[in-house]
Amino acid sequence: MINNRNNMDYMGNWDWQPRILKQQYGQLTLSDVTFRADLKSDIITRIGLRLQKSRSQVISILRKLSPPRT
DSSP state of 9: G
Confidence (pTM) = 0.71
Whether the pLDDT of residue 63 is over 90: the answer is no
At 28-54, the pLDDT tens digits run 998 888 887 777 668 889 999 999 999
Whether the pLDDT of residue 55 is over 50: the answer is yes
Question: SS3 letters for 35-69?
Answer: CCHHHHHHHHHHHHHHHCCCHHHHHHHHHHHCCCC
- Domain ranges across the chain: 14-65
| Mean pLDDT for the chain overall | 79
Confidence tier at 18 by pLDDT (50, 70, 90): confident
